[in-house]
Amino acid sequence: MNPWLRLIIYLVAAPIIGGLLAGWDRRISARMQSRQGPPILQPFYDVLKLCRKEAIVVRRSQNFYVFFFLLLMIFTGALFFAGSDLLLVIFALTLATIFLVLGGYKASSPYSFIGAERELIQIMAYEPMVLLTAVGMYMVTDSFYVHDIARHPALLVLTLPGIFLGFLYALEIKFRKSPFDLSSSHHAHQELVRGITTEFSGRGLAMIEIAHWYESVLLLGWVFLFFAAWPVLGIAMSLLVFGLVILVDNVFARLKWQAALRSAWTVTAVLGFGNILALSLLRGHPAPPAAAAVPPANPPDQISAPAAAPSSNLPT
């Protein structure tokens, strides 16, 4: 599929899918708590209502940060689904989240301040694992590019089991669900009031919601990459993982940030790094760099695979 077409489909469909995912999240959580739960379209109603509320802020420029958070989140997802370099996707995602954090700082209120600090701790907790995931995928597929990884014939999860499990751990943090909803919690939890989103209302809050939808789609797309060789299994596993995230959210209480950071880094070091170490030993890395000292007759070597635009079997 033409990457531009994929891009447009993504731009339009991702918030819808993300919103539906959020709606299912609330529905399933409610059912787990023996309740009915809101309609599936509830997140859309919420966002529509928020857009109609009065715009109030604590500092005049705080909503700009959130706007850029949304913009860059869309950009990140667009990069991912267009098949670009996975590391670049991670860096763009970090950039987007940092804009949200800066917005939280800008709002200059004690609750948003704590929320921003804890969001940073969360980022610090999951970032190593996410980077190691990209590294692991590179080691197996020899490319950082999403469209190359997606077309890899082997099932990645079989060679990257540790990384997959570590990634799931990081996913729980990224989705901001218990036990890692340190910075802000959706729905009913009220410790820290609303954390980082405390001082945002109306359009600002709506933008944060929509950005979360884009993020969910991006993250589940990444889960799909682990199973990209069998697309149907991939979609099923993405949804299953999402269900697992919701289950863990409902079962566990919130951890203290120390426990969250320690456990995340331990999981990264053991599962993630262990996987990488195993892969490198099995494949005989490192290749002796003396081989790189070759007479200048060779054509220039690119540091990353060429950014071609072939078709891919990534859905949407």
Partner 1 sequence: MATLICALVLGPFIAGLGLCFVKPDRLRDVVVTVVTLAVWCGSVTLAIQPTPGALAGGLFERTGSQWAMLLTEAAMALYVIWVGIRSWKLLVVALMLAQTGIMAWLGFVSSSHLPEAQAFFVDKFTVIMALINGLIGGGICLYALGYMRGYHEDTHLEVTDRRPLFFALLFVFMGAMFGIIFANSLLWLFLFWEITTLCSFLLIGYTRTAEAQRNALRALTMNLAGGVAFAAAIAWAHQKTGVLELQALIASKQGLALVPAALLCFAGITKSAQLPFSAWLLGAMVAPTPVSALLHSSTMVKAGVYLVLRTAPIIAGTTVGFMVALVGALTFLVGSLAAITTSDAKKVLAYSTVSNLGLVVLCGGIGTHQAVWAGVLLIVFHAIAKCLLFLCVGVVEHRLGSRDIEAMSGLILNMPRVAVMMQIGMAGMFLAPFGMLISKWAVLKAVVDANPALSVFLVFGSAATLFFWVKWMGKLLEVFRPREKFEAEYGAGEAVALYGLSGATSLTCLFFPWISTQFIEPYVVGVYGVSVSMAPGNVVIMIIMMVMVMLFPLSFINYGRWVKVIDAYLGGANLQHSSVRFRGSADKPQEVVTHNYYLWEFVSETWLSRWGTVCAAVLLAIMVLSSMLTKAPARKQTQPSGLSGKTAAALTVR
Partner 2 sequence: MIGFKESPWILHYDASSCNGCDIETLACLTPLYDLERLGVINTGNPKHADIFLVTGAVNPQSKEVIKNLYHQLPEPKVVVALGICACTGGIYRDCYNVSGGVDRVIPVDVYVPGCAARPEAIIDGVVKALGVLEHKYREMAALAESIDRVVYLQADRGDAPEILTLQKVAYQSEAELYGDDSLPALQQTLEELEKDFERRPAQEASELGARAAGDHPPNESDRIVFIKAVVNGKIIGSIRGYAIGDTAYLSRMMVHPYFRGRGIGRRLLQEVEQAFPQSRRFEAKTGHQSKRNHFQLGKLGYSRYKTEPFTPTVTWVYFQKERTLQPQR
Q: Which is nearer to partner 2, 58 or 269 (CB)?
A: 58
Within 42-101, the residues that bind partner 2 by CB under 8 A are 42, 45-46, 48-49, 52-56
| Orientation of helix 161-174 relative to helix 273-283, angle to 10° | 150
In the bound state with partner 2, the residue whose beta carbon lies nearer, of 188 and 297, is: 188
Task: Tell me whether residue 23 or residue 83 sits nearer to partner 1 (CB atom).
Answer: 83
Which residue lies nearer to partner 1 by CB, 17 or 165? 165
Instruction: Provide the minimum distance between the beta carbon of 187 and partner 1 in the complex, in angstroms, as a whole number.
Output: 18
Site for partner 2 in 8-47 (CB under 8 A): 26, 30, 33-39, 42, 45-46
Residues in CB range of 234: below 8 A, 6 or more apart: 223, 224, 225, 226, 227, 228
Restricting to residues 178-207, which ones interact with partner 2 according to CB under 8 A?
187-188, 190, 193-194, 197-202, 205
124 token code pair: 């610090």
Residue type, 175: F
CA distance 124 to 112: 18
Taking CA 230 as the corner, what is the angle to CA 227 and CA 235, rounded to the nearest 5 degrees? 65
Measured from the CB of residue 280, what is the shortest distance to partner 1 in angstroms?
5
Q: Tell me if 302 contacts partner 2 by CB under 8 A.
A: no
Q: For the chain, how big is the Rg over CA atoms in Å? A: 20
DSSP string, 184-250: ---TT--TTTTGGGTT--THHHHHHHHHHHHHHHHHHHHHHHHTTTSHHHHHHHHHHHHHHHHHHHH
Rounded to the nearest 10 degrees, how much is the dihedral formed by the CA atoms of 281, 284, 285, 288?
A: 150
Judge whether 136 and 170 are in contact, CB under 8 Å: no
Instruction: Report, in Å, the least distance between residue 30 CB and partner 1.
Output: 27
- 44 is written with which tokens? 């859309």
* Residue numbers 47-66 binding partner 1 by CB under 8 A: 54-61, 63-64
Q: Which of 188, 232, 253, 294 touches partner 1 by CB under 8 A?
A: 294
- The answer to whether residues 54 and 202 touch, using CB atoms and an 8 Å cutoff, is yes
User: In this complex, which beta carbon is closest to partner 1, that of residue 86 or of residue 225?
Assistant: 86
Please tell me whether residue 36 binds partner 1 under the rule CB under 8 A. Answer: no
**Distance (Å, whole) CA 87 – CA 69:** 19
Least separation, in Å, of the C-beta of 161 and partner 1? 17
Report in angstroms how near the CB of residue 140 gets to partner 2 at its nearest.
Answer: 43
Phi/psi of residue 288, nearest 5 degrees: -60, 125
Mask 60-99, x = binds partner 1 (CB under 8 A)?
xx-xx--xx--xx--x---x----xx-xx--xx-xx--x-
Judged by beta carbon distances under 5 to 8 A according to partner kind, the member of partner 2, partner 1, none in contact with residue 269 is partner 1
Q: Quote the CA–CA distance of 176 and 222 in Å, as a whole number.
A: 17
Closest CB to partner 1 among residues 187, 285: 285
Identify what 36 binds: partner 1, partner 2, none; CB under 5 to 8 Å per kind. Answer: partner 2
What residues make contact with partner 2 under the rule CB under 8 A?
26, 30, 33-39, 42, 45-46, 48-49, 52-56, 187-188, 190, 193-194, 197-202, 205
